[in-house]
Amino acid sequence: MNDYRAIIGINLGTTHSSFAYSFMNPSNICIHKEWRDGIGYKIPTVLYYDDEYRNVTIGRNGHDRNPVELFKLLLGKMENEPPLQHGKAIIDYFREFGKIVKRTIQHVDFDQALIVLTVPDNNTMLTRSFFTMREYAFKAGLLRYPLSQNFRLTTESKAIALYCMKYLREHNLSVGEKFIVVDCGDNTVYLSTMLLWNNEKLCLISERIEIDCGGDLADQEFLKFIERKIGSSRMNLISENKLQEIKNIFGSIKLSFTGIQSEFVTINFDSGFALRQLFYRNDNNNRWNFKLEFEDVKAIIDPIVERIVQLVDSQLRLCDNCFAISLVGDFGRSKYLQLRIEEKFSTRVLVSRPPNSCTAILRGAVLQGLNYANPDQAYIIKLEEENKKAQEFNNLLHEKYDGLQEKYDNLQEIEIKYVNQIRINQQYKNDIILKDQSEKQRQNNYRLLYDDLQKNYDDLTKKYNEEINQNQIIDENRQYQNNIELQEQRINQLQQFLELKENKLQNLEKEKEELNAENDNLHQKNTNLANQLENILQQNTILKDDVSNIVSNENIDQNYIISLNNDISELNDNLKKYVTDLNQDVIVNMEEIKKLLLLYKCPIKITNQKDDQLLIQAVLQRHIIETILSYATKYFQSTGQHYHLEANIVNKASLLSILLTNISKYRTGNDEIAHVATTKLRQHIYSILNNRGFANIYGEDHITYEHPFIAYHKEELNKTMSELRIVKGQEKLASENLAAIIICEVVKIFWFRLKVHESVVQYVWVPYNVKVDEMFMEGSNLDDNDEENLCVGLCYFPLIGRDLTLIDKKVFVSAKVFTKKSLK
């Protein structure tokens, strides 16, 4: 067992390197921070060589020539391999790095210290890399022997997990429990799920997951934000060193950002701002001004944090019974990331951030070395046995190494001879190339000479052919001239033939025009004859329709006359009943009767009721009809009330009839319906009025009541008749009940029924002293033996018919007259 005095943990990263150490005390692990060219606890992983690649320094110390970086110190082929022997850059970096380590732990030699080197997890050749890196460490002076046992390798994730495990053990992490390590680096975020075994051994239970969303991504987004504010042209003026300083400024902002707006202070950037010198110097004439708001920082950081939270959530779903999440790494110091992780997962697992977590790799490497140096007793015995075997194997290797060294020297000599032979071969190859080039030049000269000769031959051949062609052209021209003359003769003949054809064609065109004209005349005559035939057929149809209409109208007139006579006969019966028979029980006011006779221009003298009974009845009937017609005339002049519906219809019908007559009169057209529309409309309207006019009216709840016109004027008519004759008893009651019926019948016949006929039917009162004509008159006192001497004394029912003022009048209802003998 080795008696180590110190443990040294070294992290040789892609861009930066660092180391930590402990003098065998796990509670006191020191992180080296006194770097001349470093940032905090890290130094850039960069080598600077002189022109001969012999003298070298590390870190960015202002040298600009021959830098070597991004070689990752291993473990496979370098991305940008420098012009050095393989492994030289790693050995040189180990040597210069070891000098700094040696100055730090002055009182401890390297063979008294256990060196633990961390390597990336994606190294698939860890065992091979161990021997390679130990050889490089030996050649760099970090190890005394090529096979020294004080050199160990460990993965970065294992070192971080060991450090997190030590912290979680203080929070009751038990054997068999799992925890997730979230390593938030500058460029990448790694997630590892670990399981704690016995003796504080760790097991990786799932493959390490990584995503490219580290803190540097936020820095790049901040630079894009600045470029949008100040423009690309100004941004291009900023040097690489100034860009790094800008990133450092934003680094403190992104780590302190909490995502709570009230805790954020807006930063103003303007031309007077102290940070202006970080951007550019030669911009005194251009001023700029912008702010870094809360929303700007959140928009930069939030997408990165969200991706990390989603990654942790997906990993946590796959890890059953997870005890804790440990947040480490430089970007793991972000307060906003810590708050989001706490907010999302604190109810499910313990969320921890071990102290000094940004140096978790170094501290874990030292703890790994302490575990190697201070194992438990069983492990010590096993380790001593393995050490004994290793010592025996080491001695064997020493012997083999001496033999290999001799072989190596021989190989060096062979390599020198091989290089010399290569140079000789290269010279021979160059001579061959020169000869080949000379031969190609000679062939090119021959080719040019051949081309010249070929061109001369072609020219001579062309000239010879031209002379032959010239002679042939002369002969051909003569032949062509003869052919032309023959063609001209042929053309003249064809021209004459063409003229004859054109003359004939013109004659045919003229004949065609004459035939077309004649055809048009015949077509026009045919059209006229067709129109005449159509007119004749239409006239024939009209004549047939007229005959049918005449027959139909005669039938209609006959039916109309019969129906009208029946209604008038019924009216006359009711009038007789209403007037009564004027017997001795009825008292007649003779004075008023005499006045009525004079009113209706009847000069016949009456003496008493008994002798003049028929004349009194006649004048009373006449007076009843005239009185009712006066009632109706006044009614049809009134509008506006609900019981004026019949008057409104009559007035509107009259107006519409006038309008239809005007449109036929003042508007062009030949439709027959316009001529008959007025008649048909009148017939339909008055037919409806004859059917429903002055009928009982529907009230509320469909209760009917008598039309106001009838109800009012029946009382007026009874009152008027009571002044002319006095009826008593039951006869009076029966007489007065007929008043409403008579009023309705008179109005319907004289106002509605006469207008239902196609041609409006007229009525006239036959004047006094007109000679009696039994063709259109009838009366109760007609004397058949003395018809020629009779004349009209009083017309008590009018003559009804059509064209009554003409000789060929059409009588529908005969007038009822009271006759008298004419004066000779």
Chain-centroid distance, C-alpha 788? 104
How confident is the model over 705-730, as pLDDT tens digits?
Answer: 899 999 999 999 999 999 998 988 88
User: Quick one: pLDDT at residue 716?
Assistant: 93
Residue bearing the bigger pLDDT, 697 or 642: 697
pTM: 0.46
Say if residue 248 is in the same domain as residue 261.
yes
Same domain membership, residue 209 and residue 116:
no
Residues 54 and 201 in one domain: no
Residue 543 lies in a domain: no
Same domain, yes or no: 749 and 822:
no
Q: Are residues 177 and 293 in the same domain?
A: yes
Residue 698 above 50 pLDDT?
yes
Q: Tell me, yes or no, whether 729 and 770 share the same domain.
A: no
CATH number at residue 283: 3.30.420.40
Q: How far apart are CA 567 and CA 549, in angstroms?
A: 26
Q: Which of 728, 750, 753, 811 is nearest to 627 (CA)?
A: 750
Based on the fold, state whether residues 782 and 715 are members of the same structural domain. no
More confidently predicted of 476 and 711: 711
For the segment 107-138, what is each residue's pLDDT rounded down to a tens digit? 888 888 999 998 877 655 455 577 788 888 88
CA-CA distance, 48 to 93, in Å (whole number)? 10
Residue-averaged pLDDT of the chain: 81
Q: What pLDDT is recorded for position 535?
A: 67
Q: Is residue 688 part of a domain?
A: yes
- pLDDT the model gives residue 809: 83
- Of 355, 389, 421, the position where a domain reaches its end is 355
Q: Answer with the residue of higher pLDDT: 635 or 821.
A: 635
Q: In the predicted model, what is the mean pLDDT of residues 64-72?
A: 62
Strand 178-184 and strand 322-328: the pairing is parallel
Most confident region among 475-479, 536-540, 544-548, 599-603 by mean pLDDT: 599-603
Q: What per-residue confidence (pLDDT) applies to 496?
A: 82
pLDDT at 271: 45
Q: Among 521-525, 683-687, 747-751, name the one with the lowest average pLDDT.
A: 521-525
CATH number for the domain harbouring residue 65: 3.30.420
Mean pLDDT of the region 222-242: 83
Give the chain's domain count: 4
In a domain, 798, yes or no: yes
Residue 552, pLDDT score: 53
Measured from the Cβ of residue 25, the count of other Cβ atoms closer than 10 Å reads 12
Residues 756, 766, single domain; the answer is no
What is the model's pLDDT at position 749?
92
d(CA 724, CA 718): 10
Q: What is the C-alpha to C-alpha distance for residues 244 and 248, in angstroms, rounded to an integer? A: 6
- The pLDDT of residue 488 is 80
Within a domain: residue 417?
Answer: no
Mean pLDDT of 758-780: 87
Identify the helix (H) or strand (E) that includes residue 726.
strand 725-726
Residues 186, 295, single domain; the answer is: yes
d(CA 147, CA 416) in angstroms, rounded, equals 29
Tell me the per-residue pLDDT of 7-53, one tens digit each, with 9 for 90 and over.
999 988 777 888 999 998 888 899 988 877 656 788 888 888 877 77
Structural domain boundaries, residue 602: 580-760
| CA pair distance 342, 215, nearest whole angstrom | 19
Q: To the nearest whole percent, how much of the chain has pLDDT over 70?
A: 83
Q: Does 589 reside within a domain?
A: yes
Beta bridge partners of 816: 778, 797
Q: What is the mean pLDDT of residues 168-188?
A: 87
Instruction: Report CA-CA distances (Å) from 604 to 88, 547, 552, 621.
Output: 167, 50, 46, 17
pLDDT in tens, 496-527: 888 888 888 888 888 888 888 888 888 888 88
pLDDT of residue 270: 61
Q: At 659, list the tokens.
A: 């309008």
Whether 813 and 755 share a structural domain: no
Strand 704-705, strand 697-698: pairing: antiparallel
**87 and 183 share a domain?**
no
Residue 699, domain member (yes or no): yes
Question: Within this chain, do residues 730 and 802 fall inside the same structural domain, yes or no?
Answer: no
C-alpha pair distances (Å), 235 with each of 176, 219, 231, 296:
54, 15, 6, 19
Domain annotation covers residue 481: no
User: Cα separation of 764 and 797, whole Å?
Assistant: 9
What is the distance between the terminal CA atoms of the chain, rounded to a whole angstrom? 186
Return the pLDDT at 669: 75
pLDDT, tens digit (0-9, with 9 covering 90-100), for 788-809: 778 998 999 999 998 888 877 8
Domain end marker among 329, 355, 381: 355
Q: Is the model's pLDDT at 74 over the cut of 60?
A: no
Q: How confident is the model at residue 553 (pLDDT cuts 50, 70, 90)?
A: low
Last residue of a domain, one of 721, 745, 760: 760
